Amino acid sequence: SQKIEQNSEALNIQEGKTATLTCNYTNYSPAYLQWYRQDPGRGPVFLLLIRENEKEKRKERLKVTFDTTLKQSLFHITASQPADSATYLCAYPLEPGGYNKLIFGAGTRLAVHP
Amino acid sequence: DSGVTQTPKHLITATGQRVTLRCSPRSGDLSVYWYQQSLDQGLQFLIQYYNGEERAKGNILERFSAQQFPDLHSELNLSSLELGDSALYFCASSGGGEPYEQYFGPGTRLTVT
């Protein structure tokens, strides 16, 4: 069965530094990966989608990479701010062709300290 | 605000009871998804509907059922509730088809006592 792993330990960084979060997956290579942000008690908010033929995607201070050889996606937040503190989830299709039937990682909690 | 609405926000009920959670998708979205999020399980996909038809199923228990109505709102019915069903239940919507991002509602917090 599909597995998706994110660093379960919280990531603590200083304001202004770059945060890097990791998402590793097993078995088949998904056609795309998505990243979401979730604040406590609230629904996840979509951030970025990267397809298997894209090495890198950027949106403002966010950058996502997708390495199908390593079966890994990296999520970067540059010039981090305390407001970036949240849990970040990665997700991908549960099965080939199951475009929107997603499996989510457990998430990595990011804390940005002033 | 994602544009997805869910009611109620909180629900407290006893074991053995039945509850109905309601979701209205974003305007124009045809797909609705239901997820369960508990502390020890993370976000789990339950079921997807597209324009009134069931499209995909995840690890949804037989005690749970869902439907999507002609006006595209959806309901998730949970019956014979157990303590372990206590969780946050999220509804999400998307345009369907291509791998569109999903827009999540604020969730319903269910507590079974």
pLDDT recorded at residue A93:
84
pLDDT tens, A48-102?
A: 999 989 989 999 999 999 998 899 999 999 999 999 999 999 998 877 766 668 8
Contact in structure between B72 and B29 (CB atoms under 8 Å): yes
pLDDT surpassing 80 at residue B68: yes
Q: What angle do CA B94, B96, B99 make, to 5 degrees?
A: 85
User: From chain B, which residues contact A within 8 Å (Cβ)?
Assistant: 2, 4, 31, 33, 35, 42-45, 48, 55-56, 58, 88, 90, 92, 94, 96-107, 109
CB contact under 8 A, B56 and A98: yes
SS3 A70: coil
Q: Distance between CA atoms of A75 and B69, rounded to whole angstroms? A: 38
Q: How confident is the model at residue A28 (pLDDT cuts 50, 70, 90)?
A: confident
Q: Please state the rounded mean pLDDT for residues A40-50.
A: 94
Asked if residue B96 has pLDDT above 90, the reply is: no
DSSP one-letter string for chain B: --S-EEE-SEEEE-TT--EEEEEEPPTT--EEEEEEEETTTEEEEEEEEETTEEEEE-S--TTEEEEE-TTS-EEEEE-S--GGG-EEEEEEEE--SS----EE---EEEEE-
A7 or A86, higher pLDDT: A86
Reported as half-sphere exposure (CB side, CA atoms, 13 A), residue B69 has a value of 9
* Lowest mean pLDDT, pick from A23-32, A84-93, B75-84, B86-95: A23-32
| Residue among B31, B100, B104 minimizing CB distance to A44 | B104
Mutation target among A36, A62, A100 for the B interface, most CBs of B within 10 A: A100
Going by C-alpha positions, the residue among B83, B90, B93, B73 that lies closest to residue B37 is B90
Q: B42–A41: do the CB atoms touch at under 8 Å?
A: no
Tell me what pLDDT residue B41 has.
Answer: 77
Percent of chain B with pLDDT over 90: 83
Say if residue A27's pLDDT is above 90: no
Name the token pair of A48: 């970025």
Per-residue confidence at B99, pLDDT binned at 50, 70, 90? low
Per-residue pLDDT reduced to its tens digit, B7-64: 999 999 999 999 999 999 999 999 999 999 998 778 999 999 999 999 889 889 999 9
Q: Is the pLDDT of residue B112 over 80?
A: yes
Identify which of B43, B44, B99 has the shortest CB distance to residue A99: B99
Q: What is the rounded CA–CA span in Å between residue A54 and residue A64?
A: 10
> For residues B52, B58, B61 and B65, what is the CA-based torsion angle, rounded to 10 degrees?
-10
Chain A partners of B99 at a C-beta cutoff of 8 Å?
31-32, 34, 49, 51, 93, 99-100
Tell me which residue in A43, A49, A105 faces B90 most closely, judged by beta carbons: A43
- What pLDDT is attached to residue B19? 98
A34 and chain B in contact, CB less than 8 A: yes
